[in-house]
Amino acid sequence: MRRGLELAALGPAVGDHARVGAVILSPEGDVLAEGWHKGAGTPHAEVDAMAKVDPEHLRGATAVVTLEPCNHTGRTGPCAVALLEAGVARVVYAIDDPGADVHGGADRLRAAGLEVVSGVLASEAEAFLERWLLSVRLGRPWVTVKWASSLDGRAAAADGTSKWITGAAARQHVHEQRAAHDAILVGTGTVLADDPSLTARGDAGELLADQPLAVVLGDRAVPADAAVRRHPRGLVTLPGHDLATSLGALRGHGVHSVFVEGGPTVASALIAAGLADEYLVYVAPVLLGGPRVALGDLGVGSMPARRRLDVLSTTALGPDLLVRARPQHPGPPEHPQHLDDGATLDHHDDGSTNDRSTT
């Protein structure tokens, strides 16, 4: 199973699929083949592995898979049926598939007389697939909220300028994180104020191989000549002010993870609504003072209501510090907040942001 997780990591980290690995064992316990899911529309891991074995050697074999074999017909056929037809005698997997349409493969295999064992290295598999599992279970993408700030928590100077708060290493890390998510989200104010490209780029400004889907949140129209309309992955606009509904709509676009760079208003609204799953905070060793804080109102009126975080890691990026953290007890507040489109957001291509309020 641990080898299966290693194989799963070979699959693409972004896209509308789970990363799954599989190992086929002979009745004597020898490895016959290995496989992994290489992306949406390609054979699933167990089918990929079985295709490398002569059919006569599959009879009586054991399939070790990191996720429960699927039980539905989508872009590919049900893996449970493929295992039955191949004559596999035993299936071992780590965690149940939470998808309502695909769950049930294990029951189907048991009903056909196969030995089925579940829960092997379940905690490791849960951690490996955490983004995808959350998106399927909650019906909305995993949300990473990012901001860059000075040591005193400012996202811009008093005059609104924010280039460059952080150094080159931190800015490049932001681009890598964009590429590691299915989508990048900003507000309409960001687009109108800064005309960002919302692409993931390398050190020389070249486009990286993996590009996030560009998502713009808000009611105002994106100009016809906006740079984001030339995004290589395309553009999705989400009107309205219900953040949970907007995030849920992204699941229809195959988005399992979203990188939020929408400025203090969008970031604060998501956090206040209990919709932030992870924080990436890039802190520069500078002091700015003034009113341009990195976050706005979070609905915290007193110390007992403060939002506690677990810091997972701190990483030096040149002169800057990256703090990676997660909520201790994520969840919506008693009175969920909505994004007020009366506030617009500035977004700069270094990944830093500042807030502008319209009148």
Select from 344, 334, 351 the least CA-distant residue to 175: 351
Tokens found for residue 335:
């009175």
Tokens found for residue 20:
């799954």
φ and ψ of 58, to 5 deg: -80, -25
* Residue 231: strand, helix, or coil: coil
Q: Could you give the percent of the chain with pLDDT greater than 70?
A: 90
Structural element, H or E, at residue 323: strand 320-327
Q: Give me the catalytic one of 34, 46, 68, 278.
A: 46
Average pLDDT over residues 311-340: 77
The answer to whether the beta carbons of residues 305 and 258 sit under 8 Å apart is no
* Structure confidence at residue 284 (pLDDT): 95
The answer to whether the beta carbons of residues 286 and 150 sit under 8 Å apart is yes
Q: Could you give the percent of the chain with pLDDT greater than 90?
A: 68
Q: pLDDT (tens digit, 9 = 90+) per residue, 222-260?
A: 999 999 999 999 999 999 888 999 999 999 898 999 999
Residue with tokens 């952080």: 166
Q: pLDDT (tens digit, 9 = 90+) per residue, 89-106?
A: 999 999 999 987 666 899
Superfamily (CATH H level) for 138-357: Dihydrofolate Reductase, subunit A (3.40.430.10)
Strands 31-36 and 21-25: antiparallel
**Angle value at C-alpha 279, between 156 and 243, nearest 5 degrees:** 90
Q: pLDDT (tens digit, 9 = 90+) per residue, 164-220?
A: 889 999 999 999 999 999 999 998 887 888 889 999 999 889 999 999 999 999 889
- CATH architecture classification, 2-128: 3-Layer(aba) Sandwich (3.40)
pLDDT for residue 343 is more than 50: no
Domain boundaries, the chain: 2-128, 138-357
Catalytic status, residue 206: no
